[in-house]
Structure 1
Amino acid sequence: MRNVPGQGGTRRAGGFAFVGRRDELGVVLSALACPPVIVLIEGEAGIGKSRLAYEAAAALTGAGGHVLTGLCHPLREPVPFGPVIDALSKAARLLPPVHQIPRTAGALATLLPDLADLLPAPPPPAQDAGEERHRRMQGVRSFLTALGPVTLVVEDVHWADEGTRELLLLLSRDMPEELGLVLTFRGGDLRPGSPLLGAAFQRQPGTAGAVVHLAPLTEQEVWELARDALGEDADAALGRPLYERSAGVPLVAEEDLITLREKVRRKAAATAGAEATDGPVDLAADLDQAELPHGLRESLTARLLALPPAGQAMVEAAAVIAVPATEPLLAQVAQLDDEAGTEGLLAALDCSILRESGPAHYAFRHALAQQVVYQHIPGPQRTRLHRRAITVLEALPTAPLVQVAHHAFALGDRDAWLEKAEAAAAQAVALGDAGTAATLFHQILAEHDLPAEVRSRVAIALALIAANGVDYTTDAATLRRILQDPQLSTVTRGEIRLALGILITNHGSDRAGFQVIEQAAEELAERPARAARAMIALAINEQDGAWRRAWDWMHRAEAALRRDPDPAMLAAAEATRLTLMAREGDPGVWSAVDRLPRQSGDIEILRQTTRALYNIGDLALELGHDRRAEALLTESRVLARRADIAYLESYSRIDLARLEGLRGNWETVEKRFATLAYEYPDIAMLRVEQTMLIGLIAAARGHRRQAMDQYRAAAALGRAQTQVTTPLRAAAALAATRLAEGDADQAWALVEPAVAVLRGAAAWARATGMVPVAVETALARGDRGFAEALADDAEDGLRDRDVPAATAELHLARGLLHGTSEQAVEHFDRARLLWADIGRPYDHALATERFAIALAQSNPHDAYARLEEAMARFTQLGATYDAARCQNTLRSLGLFRHASRGRHGYGDQLSPRERQVAELLAHGATNRDIAQTLFLSPRTVETHVANVLRKLGAARKDVGEALSAAGSADTQA
């Protein structure tokens, strides 16, 4: 935690006191004292956002802290993450020795040439702009981490380009430990329904935050501002008109006060050395009797007219240029020589119309001021200045094409603007600044009656940017808006629809995307290679019987590629072919995946390799090849970063977390999923795996209501997904929970339709838990015929397949069919050994329990040892309910061994059994629930509950809170 600096307030250039924001400053400084932290400062134009950020920075700097500030502008040349890079360029004195800086920070060397010698060597050239963008994003985080305790302020984020917003979004989801991030913005200038950073971000665990909404100043605060600025000349009557003119907006009040202060100064100068006879200046009357309308426009215009001609010319040039500019650039646009330009600039600075916004760059104090002056310039003069700006800017060694396009647009020269804007966007793409490019493409597409070739070219370019973004919701909305354009050609519409469909299926995990892709395939008939891409995607769908057409789609795609060979699409076809082989449990897939090109110089081929590695790794988990899955998913995660496929990187991380849960690391994996949920709030796959895991752990601990809620949520999510395994897993888990409650009929209501889906998709190769649960349910209802037929179908489906997990489940089903016979023992034993070899301790313990029960009649000694083994494993995992069930089984089979005489006394502390009861009470369990979960009699439960309430000193509804408070005070057996 950092020390909170004092809040004395400062006086900026222009001489205005800091009033009315003490509480807000306290909030900001208190938040920044506890990094990592994100502070949002929101308010309308001129309300004081920048001043509040300045005061916070001054207080932090005064206390020995370090603050870096970057500004967003409405017109900005394409520099990747420009505002952030501007801020980092000021950090030379804060950098540690180069050997202490992460090597990944070297990716910023080309963007920070003045700091290149202080950074690690840059990495080898990236294979494409996407990989370079990812490197630079990682480089920014590494750079900030190396700085240690630092505050990064980014102002006017409502003007940030998409690339900068994406960087800030990712940074907010993975904050360096000692970073304070301050973002200022105008909420009213965001698109309706559009989050500040393009996607709703949630602070990750351990990241603090504060949101400050700035309201207008009160009348009293405006009066305090005037009294401080004007001293004795500010009479009480001035407060009301000044407040009414400004509506409490500090900037407007300050502009009025600058004008009034100048009148006081002129009055003092005129009467210097002579006896004043006119009395004091009546400032309130000056405001009330002003001939011009009230507001900012009047005060600025009055000061502008008071400037010498050269000053007016420089200010007008600055208003037209609209971005911070150097003195020579301003003078050239104003058509002044060096001497006149300097004279004019000094006059503009002296009257506070312009300010030095950066080293040797000058701009208006606020965007409102620029707009007022711009509107004051007569139309013909504005036109002349815009033309002159184009001439001057195009003569620069590297023409700032975004600015040139802006001036062409202001002139109404549509053709020139289209040409310059598209060129500027292409320049931005080449520089890795997808955000600026997307902004320009949106502006172009907003034009009516665009030439068809321009509209198609720009729409496809924008679609490619959106499809490779990190925020599913925003990117999908962008593509849908493009598709609404009735002027798109059929082929262009197909390209964009294909991007949207893949986005929906891959990012949104929604099979509705396949309908979009199928329509795209028809629209792309004139481009066989692109149509093949659509067909390849369609081959993945297996819902609603679509799996039967998978190889047909593949054959059609291969035929299209023979007509129009394309290396990237051939790689995509191979990736999907291997995915289908893995889905079917074809043992030949493993040698084929080893031959995939990992080092291709073609980025598209590399992306298809990454897709294949992820798909096969994901399927390896369902097949029961967990060690292969870990290797493939780890590799796909690394390659996804290289190939800039953000969603595949996230999917790989999610599956690796799922694998951690399957390996029994329940305590750590819950936290891991929570962190992933903060990072990827829009990914449906994450929600599925997280709810399934939470449900499994809850069921294992006897929290059945919570487990049912989680499984139902997973089932609802799974119904929209492209694969059948998610709804099958959820249905199997729900049915197993119903069976544990003794409700075979409810279990059957879940099992019967799920088995129909399983048969319809022929998804036998992938373990979902459905086959053994369905067999057990059918047997519980006396329907042995159904159970035997299902097991036979599963066995037929697994013949010649390399599927250890599904094979283990089939042995469980066969064991259930054979009851407690020798054959049952053999099947349960084989299932047990398979789960052990796969590496899933919970499934191994469940199979061991089944094995022991079947073994009890023929070999009670070994049965006892195996039940003890299962009970120990359940206890180790924290599976309270399963451990209690094993203990009850030992009793019911007469295998329970009594402990030595004498009971351990726990006094006022909870015994182990009472703690189990307390935990169940904390989750809302009834006495009946507790009896079923712990296999106790109702009277025993009543005794335990009474003891728990007495020892915790709490009512039943408060047990959870009391248990947490008691915590480590209880002695554990």
Structure 2
Amino acid sequence: MTPLPSPLHGRDSALLSLSSMLDGARTGRGGALLLRGEPGFGKTALLAYAMGEAPDFQLLHGCGTEAEAELPYAGLHRVLRPVARRVPELAPRQAEALRRVLDGEADESDHRACLLPAALLALLALLARDGPVLVCVDDADLLDAPSREALAFVARRLDPAGAVIGDAVVILLTSRPDDGLPPPGLPVLALSALDDTACAAVADQAAPVAVAEGVRLRLAAAAAGNPQAVTELVAALTPDQLRGVCPLPEPLPPCAGLQHAFLRPVRALPDPTRRLLLIAAAEEELDANLLVRAADAAGIDLAALEPAESAGLVRVGPAGVEFRHPQLRAAIYRTAPLARRRAAHALLAGLLDASRQPLRRAWHRAAAGLAPDHELAEELESAATSARRRGGFATASAAYERAAELSTGDDGAKARRLAAAARDAWHAGRSAHARDLLDRALPVAPGAAARGELELLRGDIDLRDGRAVDAYEALLTAAHRLVPIDPELAIRAMMRAGEAGVYAGDHHRFLQVAAQAAPLRAAGCSPQATVMLDYLEALSAIFLGRFGAALAPLRAVLDGAPRIDDPSALIWASIAALILGDNAQGRVMAARAVALARGRGALTMVPKALEFSAYAEFWTGRHAAATANALEGLRAATETGQGNGACHHLAALALLDAIHGDEQTCRLRARTALDRAGLYGLGLPAALSTWALAFLDLSLGRHADAAGRLRGLARAGPGQGHMAVAALSVPTYVEAAVRTGAADAARAAFTTFEPWADSTSSPDNLALAARCRALLSEGGQAEEHFRAALDLHAMGERAFERARTELLYGSLLRRRRKRTEARVELRSALESFERLHADRWAAWTRAELRATGESARPRLAEPDGELTPQQRQIARLAAQGATNREIAAQLFLSPRTVEHHLGNIFAKLSVRSRVELANLLP
């Protein structure tokens, strides 16, 4: 056995137990442990880890094999060969017993007299006089019975307290869960399935290239928590498939090594048992009633399942047949002969009701056949449409795809079914497979309309998980195909192309597509098309600096969108409201978009809706709600394979981290977002990440660095910057530039912000403009502008920005020796910063207060049990068993940050361990 690399992902508690046992043995405290788990769960790797951690031990190891399971003492012979030379040092009868083992002469009479187990105990005690001993036996369930019982005899006498034999001996055994072990008195550590985070880490470790997030999640789901399955799946995929450049095969390739391991006990079962197991494996919804009917139809007594139950392979109950592990079900089905699989499907199809279970029946009929079948293809298509209406997108996609495969002669029907399969695969969060289906549909799509719809879907997918420029080109191509055939759908394609231009930070592309869409406005336009055209017109005016001209179409969007039952329209309404300064409506529209997307089961729309909900909450100063939405959106985008969506959420979180003063997390998230943005040409998250880093610099007193970043942002081209974000960051730039003596540059930048702020009539925006004027003014004018800013803040909602204005004003008053007035502003600022968890800004404010001669009071204590959104996420993951490293990977934090948060969580919730945390949280 060769020691494997550590850490073994998701096995921290097992590693800790093994290390503790080895440390105990070094001080003379022996022990034994049985590691128990499914094939592929890492039992052998854990033994290898223990051996690698024990260079100062005398190592004895072996493993059980099927071939020698009936040979008495064959297993013990392999374990003892390296120390055969020490056997003569034992008492004569014990030495003779072990010699008989080593010479292959021992029989069960030696065991019955307890002579041989006692001799083994004596030999290990002898070896332990020279230093600690580690005995590792893999697959102990396959050892011959005498060897297994002899090892168990010794293991029971290795008391951790050293009270029985007091020797520094550790025995580690592994077995499957169905082996009949352990003997009484032997401690057991049961290995459970890994969570998705640990599976993703296994994939990263096994892969030769960086694995795309959506691919990681797909592998984790397919592996069902089995690390060996993850490793085998990674090895079966190409580098481009792992990177997400090429689609994954459907279905994923079988895990040959695991199949062999899972099927070992199945091969020993009677043929009727194996036939019933195949029927159960072919139908995941096989309840007890259907099971009884299937057994009767197959002419098999239901009692034939008893050997499988006795072997621990399945449990039979009211819910039907429950397999011990999903990989066992897959192995039984995949390795069955084709004829038997088809027979099982035909039998099940005959038992299902076409009116009550149309999709399952059609699916089994299709699986029972081989040749194309027009009637069956139509039946599957109809059943898939019903499944889609119920939100079963993954099921519908598979059914549409199978219907396309069964299609006969009619390319139009085949293309239609492939297009439907692609659309539903995308809605189910499987973007790579959706692209593959589109590639198959395009060559057979009849006519411009069908090809235009396919290009529209491809552009939608690229918009969320591809290069923004590719999305723009695909959507514009779709629009041009559709204009003469379906102008309304063409408008939708142009609207999406405009969104691609916005995400890329390329306002010239947006203006181009808006100009092409404008002539399509007609008296008979639907409400949705009208809203889209109004939105394109409004943003075009803003990008051209004509803020007044944008007001009417923005109001039209805000008026018309809520009447349309569509999450996208509500997102546009939210953006329009925020631009107009109607913050309350902006939040309401974004929240409605999220609720509507969830209610429809539109998984791909939820992350996008949460993006804009997070932005709405952030822009109106509700940082805790913004963080909660961004964290949820990050998870949803990751789970549905939307890399661009995850990038946007990371950028938003980085900006919030900068406000809270979490330097390490801000830099990690911002750099991760910038890497993705640079690769895929995403100007919006790139700009937000740059703003986050600049704001962090500002909070750290690095004013020149902050000013430099924001100057670069103002000059950044498509794919690297964003005009709107550059404009919104002007107040940050003005502050940084003034502090570095670049007032003229600050004034020039302010000229781009002031007209927009004035056009919105928003108290919050006008307050920021007044603060900029204060920073750019001298003498009494500065104070006057600060007071005006505070008056406007009082009518607004952005508590954090009000506190920053109070800090800047208080600092100015303190420098002008108006200490009493300064303290009023600084105390108010400090209270807000502490409430908002803006730690660095609070520290800066305390320093200013001390400079006025006032002793800064200690930080206000937080209410017991009140967790921040990020702490709630960390607590939930920790309660589910995720390690610090796994939590850090999932939330894009450092393990040290996770450790710090967990300490605070434990204190707030008055718990002392993860076990108590898991019991406390629902």
Which bin holds the TM-score, normalised by the shorter protein? 0.5 to 0.7
Deviation at 1:536, TM superposition (A): 1.9
- Match status 1:808 vs 2:762: no
Residues 494 and 524, structure 1, Cα contact 8 Å, conserved in 2: yes
SS of 2:822's equivalent in the other structure is helix
Residues 476 and 500, structure 1, Cα contact 8 Å, conserved in 2: no
Deviation at 1:847, TM superposition (A): 1.0
Deviation sequence 1:639-663 (CA, Å, 0-9, x none): 3344544444444445555666667
Deviation at 1:844, TM superposition (A): 0.9
In 1, Cα distance between equivalents of 2:897 and 2:415: 64
Match of residue 556, structure 1, among 511, 516, 523: 516
In 2, Cα distance between equivalents of 1:317 and 1:544: 51
SS of 2:444's equivalent in the other structure is coil
In 2, Cα distance between equivalents of 1:439 and 1:423: 13
Q: Report matched runs for 1:606-645 at 5 Å.
A: 606-607=565-566, 610-618=567-575, 620-621=577-578, 625-645=582-602
Match of residue 36, structure 2, among 20, 23, 30: 23
Deviation at 1:625, TM superposition (A): 4.2
Residues 493 and 520, structure 1, Cα contact 8 Å, conserved in 2: yes
- Match status 1:844 vs 2:765: no
Residues 21 and 52, structure 1, Cα contact 8 Å, conserved in 2: no
In 1, Cα distance between equivalents of 2:901 and 2:398: 55
Code of the residue aligned with 2:824 in structure 1: it is A
In 1, Cα distance between equivalents of 2:634 and 2:301: 54
Residues 422 and 441, structure 1, Cα contact 8 Å, conserved in 2: yes
Q: Report matched runs for 1:88-167 at 5 Å.
A: none
Match of residue 751, structure 2, among 788, 792, 803: 792
Match of residue 871, structure 1, among 820, 827, 830: 830
Match of residue 479, structure 1, among 435, 453, 456: 435
Residues 771 and 810, structure 1, Cα contact 8 Å, conserved in 2: no
Match of 2:891 in 1: none
Deviation at 1:760, TM superposition (A): 13
In 2, Cα distance between equivalents of 1:400 and 1:614: 37
Match of residue 254, structure 1, among 260, 268, 275: 268
SS of 1:539's equivalent in the other structure is helix
Structure-2 change in CA distance of 1:591 and 1:542 (3 Å):
closer
Q: How many residues align?
A: 638
Residues 707 and 737, structure 2, Cα contact 8 Å, conserved in 1: yes
Code of the residue aligned with 1:488 in structure 2: it is V
Residues 402 and 421, structure 1, Cα contact 8 Å, conserved in 2: no
SS of 1:807's equivalent in the other structure is helix
Deviation at 1:501, TM superposition (A): 1.5
Residues 577 and 585, structure 2, Cα contact 8 Å, conserved in 1: yes
Deviation at 1:633, TM superposition (A): 2.2
In 1, Cα distance between equivalents of 2:850 and 2:349: 94
Match of 1:521 in 2: 479
Match of 1:488 in 2: 444
In 1, Cα distance between equivalents of 2:809 and 2:529: 50
- Match status 1:436 vs 2:395: yes
Match of residue 882, structure 1, among 831, 841, 844: 841
Match of residue 502, structure 1, among 460, 470, 495: 460
Match of 1:538 in 2: 497
Deviation at 1:456, TM superposition (A): 1.9
Match of residue 729, structure 2, among 770, 784, 787: 770
- Match status 1:425 vs 2:389: no
Residues 318 and 363, structure 1, Cα contact 8 Å, conserved in 2: no
Match of residue 596, structure 1, among 545, 551, 560: 560
Match of 1:307 in 2: none
In 2, Cα distance between equivalents of 1:672 and 1:732: 20
Code of the residue aligned with 2:560 in structure 1: it is L
- Match status 1:896 vs 2:910: no
In 2, Cα distance between equivalents of 1:499 and 1:720: 22
Structure-2 change in CA distance of 1:626 and 1:357 (3 Å):
same
In 2, Cα distance between equivalents of 1:847 and 1:752: 22
Match of 1:155 in 2: none
- Match status 1:452 vs 2:411: yes
Residues 557 and 576, structure 2, Cα contact 8 Å, conserved in 1: no
Structure-2 change in CA distance of 1:521 and 1:359 (3 Å):
same
Residues 498 and 534, structure 1, Cα contact 8 Å, conserved in 2: yes
Deviation at 1:424, TM superposition (A): 4.4
Match of 1:461 in 2: 420
In 1, Cα distance between equivalents of 2:552 and 2:478: 32
Structure-2 change in CA distance of 1:432 and 1:688 (3 Å):
closer
Residues 849 and 867, structure 1, Cα contact 8 Å, conserved in 2: yes
In 2, Cα distance between equivalents of 1:912 and 1:325: 60
Code of the residue aligned with 2:556 in structure 1: it is A
Residues 621 and 659, structure 1, Cα contact 8 Å, conserved in 2: yes
In 2, Cα distance between equivalents of 1:370 and 1:836: 68
Q: Report matched runs for 1:2-81 at 5 Å.
A: 23-24=36-37
Code of the residue aligned with 1:522 in structure 2: it is H
Structure-2 change in CA distance of 1:366 and 1:767 (3 Å):
closer
Residues 833 and 844, structure 1, Cα contact 8 Å, conserved in 2: no
In 2, Cα distance between equivalents of 1:644 and 1:319: 29
Code of the residue aligned with 2:431 in structure 1: it is D
Deviation at 1:822, TM superposition (A): 1.9
In 1, Cα distance between equivalents of 2:319 and 2:705: 76
In 1, Cα distance between equivalents of 2:749 and 2:581: 21
- Match status 1:833 vs 2:847: no
Deviation at 1:404, TM superposition (A): 5.4
Q: Report matched runs for 1:136-285 at 5 Å.
A: 249-255=263-269, 258=270
Residues 758 and 764, structure 1, Cα contact 8 Å, conserved in 2: no
SS of 1:487's equivalent in the other structure is helix
Identity fraction in percent: 19
TM-score by length of 2: 0.54
Structure-2 change in CA distance of 1:403 and 1:324 (3 Å):
same
Residues 521 and 535, structure 1, Cα contact 8 Å, conserved in 2: yes
Code of the residue aligned with 1:24 in structure 2: it is G
Match of 1:210 in 2: none
In 2, Cα distance between equivalents of 1:808 and 1:594: 24
Larger CA deviation: 550-559 vs 633-642: 550-559
Residues 281 and 330, structure 2, Cα contact 8 Å, conserved in 1: no
SS of 2:400's equivalent in the other structure is helix
Match of 1:753 in 2: 712
Residues 483 and 496, structure 1, Cα contact 8 Å, conserved in 2: no
Residues 582 and 619, structure 1, Cα contact 8 Å, conserved in 2: no
Code of the residue aligned with 2:710 in structure 1: it is V
Structure-2 change in CA distance of 1:430 and 1:183 (3 Å):
farther
Match of 2:863 in 1: none
TM-score by length of 1: 0.51
In 2, Cα distance between equivalents of 1:322 and 1:689: 39
Residues 825 and 851, structure 1, Cα contact 8 Å, conserved in 2: yes
In 2, Cα distance between equivalents of 1:773 and 1:884: 19
Unaligned runs of 5+ residues in structure 2 are 1-32, 42-138, 142-174, 181-213, 244-254, 861-895, 909-922
Code of the residue aligned with 1:592 in structure 2: it is A
In 2, Cα distance between equivalents of 1:356 and 1:421: 32
Deviation at 1:321, TM superposition (A): 10
Code of the residue aligned with 2:438 in structure 1: it is I
Deviation at 1:563, TM superposition (A): 10
Residues 734 and 749, structure 2, Cα contact 8 Å, conserved in 1: yes
Match of residue 507, structure 2, among 523, 535, 547: 547
In 2, Cα distance between equivalents of 1:360 and 1:709: 47
